[in-house]
Structure 1
Amino acid sequence: MTRKAALPALVLALVLAAACGGAAAPAPSSSPSPSSTAPRPAPAAALRVGHLAWVSVSVATLWRSPSSPRAVDAPALGRPVRIERWLGAMTLTERRALNGRADTQALLGDRVRVVDLRPGWAKVVVPDQPTPLDARGYPGWVPRRQLTAVRPVRTPRVATVVERTPWLRTGDSAARPLFRVSFGTRFPLAAAGHRYVRVHLPTGGVRRIARASVALHDRGTPALPTSRTDLLVSATSFAGLDYLWAGASGFGVDCSGLTWLSYRVHDVRIPRDASAQWAAGTPVAHPRVGDLLFFGDPVHHVGLYAGRGSMVHAPGTGQQVQMAPAARDDFAGARRLLP
């Protein structure tokens, strides 16, 4: 995906109401309410310009400006975020109109840095999404309620989600479903069981997720092997997923969101957008599985080479992630970003 100029803002009161509310409230507790004579808990840490924060919803969309969202985008602005409701409500025309409104997404627990604050909104940069737009990380506006300033628990072991959108569940033995989380989400590991693992949330508390939905690994190591074959398996696991402009999650991806997210679980950090991925890669005349193929002049599309003249890619709005022939008239070249 290559960024284009912003579209004129269409702001409705409904969107503003959904976006306002200040810093995110603490997650509800399953413990009994304290009595009126019990000490009051310390107030949640406030978001501050220049300081770190963490995403506190399953997927936070980064908007071009606080006035970019429309009425139809209200489900994407709350906490909890209603990603599936949002995607289901948009028409094809409304999906296309995300171009110029939204730029990328960040996942639950992802670290961001706050660079500006307005009522109900925070401008952040995402360090794990390199971009020429800002040396600090990918920039965009997020509703304040979708962030927490409380530093999350840090554990030696991590549980990384390796299925598209598995359920996060209550922390008790009932393991009731709460909401879905995305492929690539990283949780500090609290305990590992045979059927479920227990993980720490950035908002506090411990929840459960199916053991089969995550890869357990030491902090600082890849969730999945950094091999070309394994990278291809990750990319093809999104086959049939709807294209979503600015999408970088298991709920929807754009072309560079697919490649960025696939590389992420193999601990290979690449730029977020197609043009930046092209600029960062090493040119190769004969691509191998896992290398990236680029299209357009200037470059505006990317796919992951699958071997034998084919690629995995997210073609465009109204289409799904698919395997397709790599030979196209607008082929620009191949780049290698693997170590």
Structure 2
Amino acid sequence: MKKMWFFILSLLFLFSFSSVTKAKEIKRDEAFVNVSVATLWTEPNISRKLDAPSTSNPVDMKKWTAAMSYDEKLWLVGNLETQALYGSKVTILEEQNGWVKVAVHDQPTPRNEKGYPGWMPKAQLSKSPSFSVLKEKRPFALVTANTAPLFKDFAEKKKGIEISFNTRLPVLKEKKNKLLVYTPNSGAQWLRKSDASIYQTEQDIPEPTADDLIRSGKQFLGLPYLWAGMSGYGFDCSGFTYTLYKSHGITIPRDSSVQATHGNPVEREDLQKGDLVFFAYEEGKGRVHHVGMYIGNGEMIHSPNTSTTVKIDKIETSGYGGEYAGARRYLR
């Protein structure tokens, strides 16, 4: 243990000058998410008592989602905006009574050029200069398991928080079957190698095939839908497609209606695996409200609505067949 902390202190000392310089450069309005999954609301202080596991620090996403009835989950529709993962960078836009309105970087939307906006408890943010520096300087671990535990010790006797698929944390050291990662609020912790992949930069993530995307999608089959969901604890429809692509190094818009206007348009008879398929009101001619990913043979994988889970459906018999509104290709 002493050797480990000596290594960490040495590494931080190595970056000390850079850290001081960087700290001066860190904008006052920028911060990092310091809970496993931050849930963003349409307004400050509108969460219910039963939502406490999602607004605390740490959060308990499993407890929150498992305890809600269908009607209680349905209430979230229109009251939540999106979610942001542990270590995600945000820009603070506004503050009010312990809540902050933020824009989540890397979630593109026409609503704000800095990222997807929404309200969250200020206590779920960190402004760690050392995390900011290491996030830029070190390789990162990309979580590939649905969820993955962090540990405060190599022997896994002291468990930390459980983090989500697609979370990115800087790697300090590799040791046997573990990765020593740096966190926004709890220093260095251990992550199992089997739960993540390591990359030097975002650009080093291999360009995925359609089968890679489908394989990632299938690992969530049976996961209950969550409005605004962006994590291995629950997805909404566009959160699911966004996350599948993002986990393979491709950033697409956050919402289905915007996903439907980017990428390359595809005729229905030319659909290929990995294409995103869209559905709209007024028999496909109105506003886009749903998206799935085509997996071949007339089928799509998607996270449909509050009453169900991530599943595979025939497009025609999915309940959305009469609302087909086109497709877009984001793969080359």
TM range (shorter): 0.7 to 0.9
How many Å separate the matches in 2 of 1:82 and 1:66? 20
The secondary structure found in structure 2 opposite 1:166 is strand
Q: Point out which structure has higher relative CO (alpha carbons under 8 A, 6+ apart).
A: 1
CA contact (8 A) 2:154 2:178 kept: no
Corresponding position: 1:160 with 2:149: no
Once the two structures are superposed, residues 276-319 of structure 1 have per-residue CA deviations (whole angstroms, 9 ceiling, x without a partner) of: 10012321111211110001131100000101111100111020
The Cα of 1:133 is off from its aligned counterpart by 1.4
How many Å separate the matches in 2 of 1:224 and 1:57? 28
Query: Given the two structures, how large is their TM-score scaled by the length of structure 1?
Result: 0.83
Unaligned runs of 5+ residues in structure 1 are: 1-29, 31-44
The Cα of 1:68 is off from its aligned counterpart by 2.3
How many Å separate the matches in 2 of 1:110 and 1:181? 12
Matches within 5 A, 1:302-313: 302-313=291-302
The secondary structure found in structure 2 opposite 1:181 is strand
How many Å separate the matches in 2 of 1:171 and 1:277? 42
1:316 alignment partner AA: N
Matches within 5 A, 1:1-339: 51-151=29-129, 152=131, 153-154=134-135, 155-223=137-205, 225-285=207-267, 286-296=270-280, 297-327=286-316, 328-339=321-332
Bigger proportion of residues as helix: 2
Query: Given the two structures, how large is their TM-score scaled by the length of structure 2?
Result: 0.85
The secondary structure found in structure 2 opposite 1:262 is helix
1:322 alignment partner AA: K
The secondary structure found in structure 2 opposite 1:179 is strand
How many Å separate the matches in 2 of 1:174 and 1:321? 31
The Cα of 1:221 is off from its aligned counterpart by 2.7
1:76 alignment partner AA: S
Aligned residues: 295
CA contact (8 A) 1:224 1:230 kept: no
CA contact (8 A) 1:241 1:320 kept: yes
The secondary structure found in structure 2 opposite 1:261 is helix
CA contact (8 A) 2:45 2:99 kept: no
The Cα of 1:338 is off from its aligned counterpart by 2.5
How many Å separate the matches in 1 of 2:255 and 2:271? 20
How many Å separate the matches in 2 of 1:136 and 1:289? 31
The Cα of 1:49 is off from its aligned counterpart by 8.5
2:289 alignment partner AA: H
Q: For the aligned residues, what is the CA RMSD?
A: 1.9
Q: 1:35 maps to which residue? A: none
Once the two structures are superposed, residues 231-283 of structure 1 have per-residue CA deviations (whole angstroms, 9 ceiling, x without a partner) of: 11111211111100000000000000100110111110101111010012321
CA contact (8 A) 2:169 2:182 kept: yes
Q: 2:8 maps to which residue? A: none
How many Å separate the matches in 1 of 2:95 and 2:220? 35
Q: 2:9 maps to which residue? A: none
The structure 1 segments of at least 4 consecutive aligned residues displaced by more than 6 Å after TM superposition are none
1:92 alignment partner AA: Y
Alpha carbons of 1:283 and 1:225: their partners in 2 closer, same or farther (altered >3 Å)?
closer
The Cα of 1:193 is off from its aligned counterpart by 2.2
The Cα of 1:171 is off from its aligned counterpart by 3.4
1:197 alignment partner AA: L
CA contact (8 A) 2:256 2:288 kept: yes
How many Å separate the matches in 1 of 2:242 and 2:67? 26
Unaligned runs of 5+ residues in structure 2 are: 6-22, 281-285
How many Å separate the matches in 2 of 1:138 and 1:190? 30
How many Å separate the matches in 2 of 1:308 and 1:106? 34
